[in-house]
Structure 1
Amino acid sequence: MSGLNLKGTLFMKPTITTYQYSYITQQIDDLVSAELSVNDAQIRAAVLAKILDRITPLLPTDEPVVTTFLQGLQTERLTRAKAAKLLDPLIPLVVPFPQLTPKQLEKLFRKVKKLKQPNWSEMRLHEMTYLGWNDGGNQKKYLVAPYEGRVIGIQGELSPQTVKGVCAICQTIGNVALFLSTTKSSGLGTYTKKGNYVCRDSAQCNRQLTDLQPLEDFLTVVQPQRNHKK
């Protein structure tokens, strides 16, 4: 719902999660594809109705920008350029991933010396359900994500080999690499490593992530055993 800040300027309260926004954008992509490839007007109308049923419950319908957005989707022969212009005004309604300070990140990765920091200037926070970045020099990948009411940091080895496969986080077929993290030690100098294949490009992975559960399942597997204790 919109409100006024201390200066009396109208603002919109973010209520849409980043993965819901990704779901909405994917649905709009499907709508545009149908508009561009299907000639039967009745079929296009049926596709539109189904997509509206899916995305409307995720939107704060008391916001004027949402009303404009939903009306704009019903334009004859919606193009990708028009769809992008309709989606942009929704961004202030998305709860963005928090931009963490270097000290906050170092606290999450206490055992990492000279932690390579992510490039925040290249990140679209309204598309990020989790933070992920690669350190190619050390073949490492770092993940920061919400888990059981808190934010955790996970580091792991990222294979230099990229293959086509299903990402464990976004459940989409793409360019994936094996991510392995040390989950526990036997106490005899040997370690247990667990992981799965994930998108090499975390930005692309976030854009494809529409459900939080696979991310939570993945984090349960790869986080150090001590983090399971409460």
Structure 2
Amino acid sequence: MKQTITTYQYNFITQQVNDLTSAYLSVNDLQVRLAIRAKVLEQVTPLLPSDEPNTQLFLTGLETDRLSRKSAAQLLELLVPMVEPFPLLSAKQLSKLFRKVKKLKQPEWYGLKRYELTYLGWNDGGNQKKYLVAPYEDRLIGIQGELAPETVKGVCAICQTIGNVALFLSTTKSSGLGTYTKKGNYICRDSNQCNRQLTDPQALADFLTIVQPQRKNRK
């Protein structure tokens, strides 16, 4: 089965299906339910490969008059083999992305649903650090930064969703005389939750543009 769905597309489809399930459970008017279902089908169908049998099974499953959360989860499982997951990186590959970190805390790959990950993020609470590995300009880059211990309610700069966020700051360049410039924004403390809410990668790209270290101009 070809992997033709991006992780953020899968997350968008998941959100649409969850919204449809909520409507099925809370809306009594049949015509309203049909209108909501039609809207969901209109949004998700173009994202799915038409030549895959699981696509038709998935779309047919949505056309029931009532959809339980259990049934919705089973339908979404049909799409997982078509999702291009975040790559499984070795400890050596991760170390190369964070060359200046002497003792890099490795992420816990066990239990991660890589088909939900547009980027990889993990916390080092002991050092108040957060590490991000994300696609940027057709390559994977590693960003490390300070993660404030305080958690507040706010909008995440990456997933654009209101949740539990903390201030992330990275050193972007030296301004001379031993001083440095730090830039950042508030992002979800829980990167896995952030990924599940991430349906548009543009905000992630904008965030990475701000926080990645600036390269020295080459002559």
TM range (shorter): over 0.9
Equivalent in 155, 158, 166 of residue 155 of structure 2: 166
Partner of 1:9: none
Partner of 1:48: 37
Deviations 1:163-193 (A, max 9, x none): 0000000000000000000001112111100
Partner of 1:3: none
Partner of 1:6: none
CA distance in 2, matches of 1:61, 1:33: 26
CA distance in 2, matches of 1:23, 1:228: 39
Is 1:140 matched with 2:140?
no
CA distance in 2, matches of 1:160, 1:193: 17
Correspondence list, 1:69-80, <5 A: 69-80=58-69
Please give the secondary structure, in 1, of the residue aligned with 2:159: coil
For normalisation by structure 1, the TM-score amounts to 0.93
CA distance in 2, matches of 1:222, 1:207: 22
1:206 corresponds to which letter in structure 2? N
Partner of 1:4: none
CA distance in 2, matches of 1:141, 1:92: 30
Cα RMSD (Å) of the superposition? 1.1
Deviations 1:9-54 (A, max 9, x none): xxx0100000000000000011011101100000000000000000
Partner of 1:121: 110
Tell me how far 1:127 sits from its aligned partner.
0.2
Partner of 2:214: 225
1:95 corresponds to which letter in structure 2? E
Tell me how far 1:76 sits from its aligned partner.
1.7
Tell me how far 1:62 sits from its aligned partner.
1.2
1:59 corresponds to which letter in structure 2? L
Is 1:216 matched with 2:198?
no
Partner of 1:58: 47
1:107 corresponds to which letter in structure 2? K
CA distance in 1, matches of 2:194, 2:141: 18
Deviations 1:184-230 (A, max 9, x none): 1112111100000000000000000000100000000000011898x
Equivalent in 16, 19, 22 of residue 8 of structure 2: 19
Partner of 2:170: 181
Partner of 2:138: 149
Identity %: 73
Alpha-carbon distance change, 122 to 219 in structure 1, aligned in 2, over 3 angstroms: same
Would you say how many aligned residue pairs link Structure 1 and Structure 2?
A: 218
Please give the secondary structure, in 1, of the residue aligned with 2:85: coil
Structure 1, unmatched stretches of 5+, are: 1-11
Equivalent in 74, 80, 92 of residue 103 of structure 1: 92
Structure 2, unmatched stretches of 5+, are: none
CA distance in 2, matches of 1:142, 1:155: 5
Please give the secondary structure, in 1, of the residue aligned with 2:168: strand
Is 1:28 matched with 2:24?
no
Partner of 1:38: 27
CA distance in 2, matches of 1:226, 1:18: 29
For normalisation by structure 2, the TM-score amounts to 0.98
Please give the secondary structure, in 1, of the residue aligned with 2:72: helix
